[in-house]
Amino acid sequence: MTRALEVSPSRTAAPSRYATFMSRHASLMPTFAAVAILIVLLIGAQARFPRFLSPGNISALLLDNAYLVVLAVGLTFVILTGGIDLSVGSVMAFTGILGASMLSQGVPAVVAIPVMLVAGAAIGLLVGILVQYFDVQPFIASLAALFLARGLAFVVSLESIRVDDPIVLWLQRTRFSVAGWYITPTGIIALLAVAIAFVVLMWTRFGRTVYAIGGNEQSARLMGLNVARTKIGVYVISGVCGGLAGLLLTAYSGAGYPRNGIGTELDAIAAVVIGGTLLAGGTGYVLGSLIGVLVYGTIKKLISFMGAEQAWTQIIIGALLLVFIVVQRVIVARSQRRR
């Protein structure tokens, strides 16, 4: 009898450890799922198209989606607080055409680029003030900013403006190659944005406040955290990322165009959600957002290889988004039951 009592705890130890791990790290499950989906996509694509995983093709994933990575970084901050920013695509278009217009008039790139970033930050600041001090819903405030930025883009120019500035073109045309792999300055900028955001969110007071607001804003106030400054700050960050994305897209296409970025905000939001950031806020990781962009880019490239209509990209991303939203609801429901 004594021996039986001694054995029984060991039998339950493994399930107990598993349950504890799942309880403590439930927020990581969507990100792990996104990584698994990316791996499955890459393996399946390689099986169907033997050259899909070639160094050049994989390197192009970051090259083609650098601007989307930057937008996803900014949106990660906003969504972690439980907010949303629908203006990022229009901000990208506005800052892109603004920069192209300035460069075409002979303004040096060292002046035009900071102006693009400041213009994006100004629109983000406007959204943040509306949300924080005028109690406007983030959806409505950012929707107004969407129309504002798009209108400003058309005020600057109704037509595409070609960019010939060597500094801007260098961002895209320069390639640092190793054994067939390559990366451009635009890709380096995108990865730096991810790295900086990761450090800020994980190891700074601002980052902890972002998570606290998304978890429970009232509790964050009671803890003495500067909620107002942080909420405004995340929208400013999103605006700056919109301006930076405008620079990267202008360098990528070699021109500014007022119709750029239509619907891109939805692609960026989808990437962030697929990467594991909860729309309710409080849970998520910027590295997951990077994975979400890579999933999006891989699906788009795979469909291109297959010669199918690009509409299938939206269909597949929509289906994935629905699955991840259901997973998020399950996670939220479980966390509420534990409380």
Contact status, residue 41 vs residue 298, Cβ threshold 8 Å: yes
Q: Confirm whether 204 is domain-assigned.
A: yes
3-state helix, strand, coil in the chain (%, to 5): 80, 5, 20
Instruction: For residue 25, give both structure tokens.
Output: 């790290």
- Residue 105 is classified by DSSP as T
Non-local CB neighbours of 262 within 8 Å, separated by 6+ positions:
89, 93
Distance CA 192, CA 38 (A): 22
Q: Confirm whether 82 is domain-assigned.
A: yes
**How confident is the prediction along the chain (339 residues), in pLDDT tens digits per residue?**
444 444 445 444 445 554 444 454 566 777 888 888 899 989 998 998 888 889 988 999 999 999 999 999 999 999 999 999 999 999 999 999 999 999 999 999 999 999 999 999 999 999 999 999 999 999 999 999 999 999 999 999 999 999 999 999 999 999 999 888 999 999 999 999 999 999 999 999 999 999 999 989 999 999 999 999 999 999 999 999 999 999 999 999 999 999 999 999 999 999 999 898 988 888 889 999 999 999 999 998 888 888 777 778 788 888 888 887 777 667 666 655 655
What is residue 108's three-state secondary structure?
Answer: coil
Contact status, residue 293 vs residue 69, Cβ threshold 8 Å: yes
* Structural domain containing residue 317: 31-45+52-338
CATH number where 168 lies: 1.10.3470
Contact status, residue 252 vs residue 172, Cβ threshold 8 Å: yes
Instruction: For residue 171, give both structure tokens.
Output: 């961002």
Distance CA 118, CA 124 (A): 10
- Model pLDDT, residue 332: 61
- Model pLDDT, residue 280: 85
- Model pLDDT, residue 335: 59
Q: Confirm whether 17 is domain-assigned.
A: no
- Model pLDDT, residue 334: 66
- Residue 224 is classified by DSSP as T
- Model pLDDT, residue 2: 46
Q: Confirm whether 25 is domain-assigned.
A: no
Asked whether the CA dihedral 13, 15, 18, 20 is positive or negative, the reply is: negative
Maximum CA extent, the chain: 90
Q: Confirm whether 207 is domain-assigned.
A: yes
Q: Confirm whether 9 is domain-assigned.
A: no
Q: Confirm whether 236 is domain-assigned.
A: yes
The total number of structural domains in the chain stands at: 1
| pTM for the model | 0.90
Q: Confirm whether 120 is domain-assigned.
A: yes
